[in-house]
Amino acid sequence: MKSVYIHIPFCSSICTYCDFCKLYYNKSLVKTYLNALEAEINKTYKGEAIRTIYIGGGTPSVLDMEDLTYLFKILEIFNCRNVEEYTIECNVENIVKEKLELFYGHGVNRLSIGIQTFNPKLLKVLGRNHTDELVINAINNAKEAGITNISVDLIYGIDGQSIDDLKDDIAKLFKLDIPHVSLYSLIIEPHTRLYINNFKDLDEDLNASMYEYINTSLIDNGYTHYEISNYAKEGYESKHNLVYWHNEEYYGFGLSASSFIGNKRSDNTRSLNHYLEGLYKANEEELTERQMMENEMILGLRLTSGVNKNHFYQLYGKRIEDVFSIQDLLDKKLLIDDGKNIYIPEEKLFISNSVLIEFID
């Protein structure tokens, strides 16, 4: 079974921190883009059974009812008899009953909602514009429409944000009663408005304190910390994202989407003109066994459970410790080997990037 990612690049506004492939919403462009998306899917998809579908962006929920209906018509080509999880990303402003009913009617059973923060001052910094009331209404409307598997994104580590601001965000999050949360420390990426405006990084010690508060609070309130930035109530871990972290196969369709099929990884073009002309791929690489094993480790070590040693041996016929020189990392307690799994200990997850860099080196 495969998974499918669909990229819808259109947004009604551009967030100051976003470096994903996106375009300002233009009704006249949407149908043209969807036609190209359909052509790419028809050319590439081989008819496999699909386990998960994720419609991301951009802001897929910004499409109007006509274009959303056409999008779901396109996606009927997929063999979805055994789909376990069908997610669409939404912005709070676009979550209206009419669209929710359309989503539910086409098999969508999970929403990923970008909230980022409840703080009006910080929302302005991030280029967002919603209120607590809009958030609460959106969540309630989704539940009433039958979609109770809801994930929200929050951002912390914003210059000007205090620990009390974060505590307020987390308190409001708990009141929403949702089963999955993704929390990301703000990274100021090149080519974003924050980067262009020389926005500062938050003090590292304060950022670490925020991470510790987040981790403790969510675990104490019944969430499992299952990946560096992700927390879930039991049974609500993101099945689609676990495909990535387990280094399993997936299709990616649309601008900038990535695919991993067989031993080939590819990235689609970020050029709308090229995409509309049918020049979908920007690059494609056939991975060596060594690269496959490295990806297995680097992606798997994002999970708090780490990489299963027996599974790795079944895939590659080699033991992890015979392929990679990890003894130094084990000695420094940056990695733990419990006999079954190799993982980054909880107290080191905040510096996981440094651990992974050492692992690669």
CA dihedral 34, 12, 96, 28 (to 10 degrees): -40
Q: DSSP H helical segments within 75-131, as ranges? A: 97-105, 120-126
Residue ranges in the chain whose pLDDT is less than 70: none
Do residues 139 and 187 make contact, with C-beta atoms less than 8 angstroms apart?
A: no
Place of tokens 């979550």: 95
Q: What is the DSSP string of 170-221?
A: HHHHHHH--SEEEEEE----TTSHHHHTTPPBPPHHHHHHHHHHHHHHHHHT
Q: Answer yes or no: is 197 within a domain.
A: yes
Whether 58 and 181 share a structural domain: yes
Q: Answer yes or no: is 74 within a domain.
A: yes
Q: Give this prediction's pTM.
A: 0.96
- Residue 66's CB is within 10 A of a number of other CB atoms, namely 11
pLDDT score of 97: 96
Domain limits at 189?
2-243
Q: Answer yes or no: is 78 within a domain.
A: yes
Chain segment 43-74, per-residue pLDDT in tens:
999 999 999 999 999 999 999 999 999 999 99
pLDDT score of 152: 98
Whether 316 and 181 share a structural domain: no
Question: How many whole angstroms separate alpha carbon 335 and alpha carbon 307?
Answer: 11
pLDDT score of 217: 98
Q: Answer yes or no: is 167 within a domain.
A: yes
pLDDT score of 127: 95
Q: Answer yes or no: is 218 within a domain.
A: yes
Question: How many whole angstroms separate alpha carbon 199 and alpha carbon 20?
Answer: 18
pLDDT score of 332: 95
Q: Answer yes or no: is 278 within a domain.
A: no
pLDDT score of 60: 97
Last residue within a domain, chosen from 201, 226, 243: 243
Q: Answer yes or no: is 265 within a domain.
A: no
Q: Answer yes or no: is 336 within a domain.
A: yes
- Which residues are within 8 A (CB) of 114 and not within 5 positions of it... i.e. 6 or more apart? 89, 90, 91, 92, 128, 152, 153
* Counted domains in the chain: 2
Whether 210 and 357 share a structural domain: no
Q: What is the CATH number of the domain that holds 67?
A: 3.20.20.70
Whether 90 and 181 share a structural domain: yes
Whether 196 and 313 share a structural domain: no
Whether 332 and 220 share a structural domain: no
Last residue within a domain, chosen from 243, 261, 276: 243
Q: What is the DSSP string of 15-59?
A: -TT--S--EE--HHHHHHHHHHHHHHHHHH----BEEEEEEEES-
pLDDT score of 265: 97
Whether 235 and 310 share a structural domain: no
CA dihedral 139, 216, 183, 100 (to 10 degrees): -20
DSSP one-letter code for 74: H
